[in-house]
Structure 1
Amino acid sequence: MTSPAPAEQSTVLVVDDAKPLADLVGSYLERDGFCVVISDNGQDAVYQAKEQNPAVVVLDLGLPGIDGIEVCRQIRTFSDCYVVMLTARAEEVDRLIGLAVGADDYVSKPFSPRELVARIRAMLRRPRQLPISHPAVITVGELRVDVPGREAHLGTSPVDLTPIEFYLLTVLASDAHMAFSRRELINEVWGQDWVGDEHLVDVHIGHLRRKLQDDPASPRFIRTVRGVGYKMGTG
């Protein structure tokens, strides 16, 4: 199903091999004013993501052939769109893997299509660009964060960060004396309208620490502040 979209419409790519569910989600999105493209397999989903340039991809984890994890990984090589993973498996590892390859959020089946549409609306209200109030270049020890260029370097080596990881790092580094709660980080990075499990922050912080070669037991860059949340270290 593909609907022609006026310029002001946002396109959502719904990827699920369960046609009744995909059609149901698509109908809710169309009623809310979105242009909807539906795909039922991983290879076609990657193709549609390139062709349609969607603002959001709703991506089932358990696809035939190329699964949702690989689809997300491939999409992240050419698109900065929002990705919401759908999973029928409640195991935490599924969610962690999805977030590790660049998904922004996840929803466990069964779910409310109304809630999914509300989450997508909230996503699109938050900017993909960081506010210009952040310093252009932030240095913490051997870590250098180029905010306009959206690049981070550890020494001379580039650090390959997802958009969410980069935004988290920038927020923490731009106010190094501030201890941020999970909710404050969510408000800064995901937006004040975001709803869901706030421990999503912990997952992304874990990936960020690993990429910064930071030992959680003796961190140089991202410190845990017990009873509060996280703050930037000294490097």
Structure 2
Amino acid sequence: MSDAGAQAQILIIDDEPQIRRFLRISLKSQGYAVAEAASAAEGIAVSQAHRPDLVVLDLGLPDADGRTVLAELRAQSSVPVIVLSVRDSETEKVLTLDSGANDYVTKPFGIQEFLARVRNLLRARPEPTATGEAVFTDGHLTVDLGRRLVSQDGVPVHLTRKEFAVLGMLIGHAGRVVTQSQLLRQIWGPTHLADTHYLRIVIGKLRQKLGDDPNDPRYLRTEPGVGYRFIGADV
């Protein structure tokens, strides 16, 4: 784990003491600092006081639905939020992600996968260049978001405007789930939220041009029924 990761503070908002204890032990074993809250009101207060680097949020809190807390957090900052919930319906996941959560983990969950998701969200985003624009590179693929240039091993990759827009939005939220409706609203407009086939075609073209195998992805991972995630920073 990087030093930045070791210094990160994580706030757990969950009313189940055993879940908080399990997460606290697991996160501290990885070098994270941990703060806890057992209710929505306490969670918001602790967040304001401690300014955590990441929030783990249960939806089933005793004094309010977790999405109320999510809305309050989003009004304060863009802190990454992982939602933990027993609610496992596709509709619930999409609604929560569209409301501003960065990831959604269903209880019960495997701790190693959970910790990987934490690392994903804490990992540094693409660094700004001298012009203030972000560039992603892994030594193989390079995407200059400001100049709208893509290359692999120094060879230009020609993308359409929509293909670049989708890739750029996913890279801008690297490691996080971006829902289909978020992508469609941002890139095609609010009248195209049902046109998921547009997105599937563009993702297919991107995978073809980047040589990305959907069954063993290096860059673009499908979150079935929810959206997509750029995982290049993990490779």
Q: The TM-score by the shorter chain falls in which range? A: 0.5 to 0.7
Residues 226, 11 of structure 1: alpha-carbon distance in 2 compared, 3 angstrom cutoff: closer
Aligned to 2:123: 125
Q: How does 1:38-53 map to 2 (within 5 A)?
A: 38-53=36-51
Give me the identity figure in percent.
25
Q: What is the deviation of 1:133?
A: 5.1
Q: What is the deviation of 1:115?
A: 1.8
Q: What is the deviation of 1:124?
A: 1.2
Aligned to 1:177: 160
Distance (Å, rounded) in 1 between the aligned partners of 2:109 and 2:147 = 36
Kindly indicate whether the alpha-carbon contact (under 8 Å) linking 2:10 and 2:55 is maintained by their aligned counterparts in 1. Answer: yes
Q: How does 1:144-223 map to 2 (within 5 A)?
A: 174=148, 177=160, 179=163, 188-191=171-174, 194=175, 200-208=178-186, 212-215=189-192
Residues 42, 98 of structure 1: alpha-carbon distance in 2 compared, 3 angstrom cutoff: same
Alignment equivalent of 2:109, drawn from 102, 111, 118: 111
Aligned to 2:80: 82
Describe the SS at the equivalent of 1:76: helix
Q: How big is each residue's C-alpha offset from its partner over 1:158-184, in whole Å with a ceiling of 9 and x where there is no partner?
A: xxxxxxxxxxxx9699467252698x5
Q: What is the deviation of 1:229?
A: 5.8
Q: How does 1:95-110 map to 2 (within 5 A)?
A: 95-110=93-108
Tell me which amino acid in the other structure corresponds to 2:192.
D
Q: How many residues matched?
A: 183
Q: What is the deviation of 1:25?
A: 0.6
List gaps (5 residues or longer) in structure 1: 1-5, 137-146, 149-169, 231-235
More moved, 8-17 vs 54-63: 8-17
Distance (Å, rounded) in 2 between the aligned partners of 1:47 and 1:57 = 13
Distance (Å, rounded) in 1 between the aligned partners of 2:59 and 2:121 = 20
Describe the SS at the equivalent of 1:227: helix
Alignment equivalent of 2:204, drawn from 227, 230, 235: 227
Distance (Å, rounded) in 2 between the aligned partners of 1:63 and 1:186 = 32
Describe the SS at the equivalent of 1:12: strand
Q: What is the deviation of 1:11?
A: 0.7
Describe the SS at the equivalent of 1:85: strand
Q: What is the deviation of 1:81?
A: 0.8
Q: How does 1:19-34 map to 2 (within 5 A)?
A: 19-34=17-32
User: Does 1:68 find its partner at 2:66?
Assistant: yes
Residues 48, 132 of structure 1: alpha-carbon distance in 2 compared, 3 angstrom cutoff: same
Q: What is the deviation of 1:213?
A: 3.1
TM-score, normalising length from structure 2?
0.63
Kindly indicate whether the alpha-carbon contact (under 8 Å) linking 1:60 and 1:86 is maintained by their aligned counterparts in 2. Answer: yes
Distance (Å, rounded) in 2 between the aligned partners of 1:216 and 1:203 = 6
Bigger proportion of residues as helix: 2
List gaps (5 residues or longer) in structure 2: 135-143, 150-158, 208-235
Distance (Å, rounded) in 2 between the aligned partners of 1:135 and 1:217 = 37
Distance (Å, rounded) in 2 between the aligned partners of 1:94 and 1:134 = 41
Q: What is the deviation of 1:57?
A: 0.2
Q: How big is each residue's C-alpha offset from its partner over 1:76-100, in whole Å with a ceiling of 9 and x where there is no partner?
A: 1111111001110111121112112
Kindly indicate whether the alpha-carbon contact (under 8 Å) linking 1:17 and 1:63 is maintained by their aligned counterparts in 2. Answer: yes
